[in-house]
Amino acid sequence: MHWKEYIKRMPLEVKQITGPLVLGEGPHWDDRVQALYFVSIHEKTIHKYNPASGEHTKTTLDGRPGFIVPVEGALDQFLVGLEREFVVLQWDGAEGSAVKFVRKIGEVDQDATKNRINDGKADPRGRIFGGTMGDEKSPGDFAQEQGSLYRVDGNITRVADKIGISNGLAWDLSAKAMYYIDSLEQNVRRYDYDVDTGDISNMRHIFNFPKNGLDGFPDGGTIDTDGNLWIAVFNNGVVIQVSPEGKLLRQIPIPAKQVTSCTFGGPNLDILFVTTSHYMNKPGEGDPQDGCTFMVTGLGVKGHPNVNFKF
């Protein structure tokens, strides 16, 4: 039986795998160690989850991490978007263990010191694309169009500006496409992508949330091997599957309203790991699972291996 037929017969299941975090984000599956890494931005913590053992560990940083991506060639080093800096840190993955500073790649948005890095991911060649967002005076009160999107390789290059909240990234090499989300646009961008140079061009929008009757904001996301996007919808409690042509294919309910990001992982890359938040909840509001991390099985699709950062 083909794996797709086998998986289609599996029941869809959404399972909580960690307790609540204030703002869980940036999930990255490291195939080398069969573990999920992610961050909790406002708690200033980086996390590791091992599905085989169920072990969940974390440690605290000196600032707010927007994402974490392992470094290729080192099992204990990670590129982290920390406040407005891209830095390499060393962490052994143990609960509460000390983090060692390895090197600073560079600093961005020097003219907007209240900005912070919000999300980032490695492209198929191991370059990092990471973006920023403007000052958040209070939960939900964002400075408009103050952020940028950057490419991090030998240098740091701004590739897009006037960004509200920099978020989801995904690449489809067969389509020579890069997908990108500025959450405040309530839309999904598609760029033509040159994998040899890392250059993007010919931006167009492919999926408009209001026009598709969707409440909430597109957040982080990923792509499956069929070329369909999986997008976390903040303030809607779902992850959606969208075709490259911009057709809404599926909505997967998640038992937390503020869904922040997702990535495929597991031994067969057929588990969708989903991070969430309770950051926007007012005192006394919300559900017990708000901010928890989940794994979704039985979707009938697979993802690509997450790429690690390559110097």
DSSP states of 186-247 as a string? Answer: TEEEEEEEETTTTEEEEEEEEEETGGGT--SEEEEEEEBTTS-EEEEEETTTEEEEE-TTS-
Residue 213 covered by a domain? yes
What are 147's two structure tokens? 């952020």
pLDDT higher than 50, residue 3: no
Q: Tell me the sheet residues that pair with 250.
A: 241
Q: What per-residue confidence (pLDDT) applies to 233? A: 98
Q: What per-residue confidence (pLDDT) applies to 136? A: 78
Assign residue 145 a region: left if phi > 0, alpha if psi is -120 to 50, beta otherwise?
left
- Mean pLDDT of the 52-71 span: 98
Which CATH number covers residue 168?
2.120.10.30
Distance CA 148, CA 117 (A): 9
Q: What per-residue confidence (pLDDT) applies to 5? A: 53
- Mean pLDDT of the 182-189 span: 97
Distance CA 171, CA 23 (A): 25
Residue 218 covered by a domain? yes
Confidence grade of residue 8 (pLDDT, cut at 50, 70, 90): low
CA angle at residue 220 from 219 to 226, to 5 degrees?
120
Residue 176 covered by a domain? yes
- Mean pLDDT of the 42-64 span: 98
- Mean pLDDT of the 274-282 span: 93
3-state secondary structure of 102: strand
Give the domain range for residue 241.
3-297
Which are the contacts of 21, defined by CB distance < 8 A and separation ≥ 6? Answer: 40, 43, 45, 47, 275, 276, 277, 278, 291, 292, 293
Could you give the percent of the chain with pLDDT greater than 90? 90
- Mean pLDDT of the 189-198 span: 97
Residue 8 covered by a domain? yes
Distance CA 276, CA 261 (A): 7
What are 39's two structure tokens? 């961050």
Residue 104 covered by a domain? yes
Residue 304 covered by a domain? no
Residues 151-167: pLDDT tens digits? 999 899 999 999 999 99
Q: Is 85 exposed, middle or buried (0-12, 13-18, 19+ CB in 10 A)?
A: middle
| Total domains, the chain | 1
Q: Do 101 and 85 touch, CB atoms closer than 8 A?
A: no
3-state secondary structure of 33: coil
The pTM for the full model equals 0.95
Distance CA 2, CA 278 (A): 40
Residue 257 covered by a domain? yes
Q: Which residues are catalytic?
A: 219
Backbone angles phi, psi at 191, to 5 degrees: -115, 150
Residue 303 covered by a domain? no
Confidence grade of residue 142 (pLDDT, cut at 50, 70, 90): confident
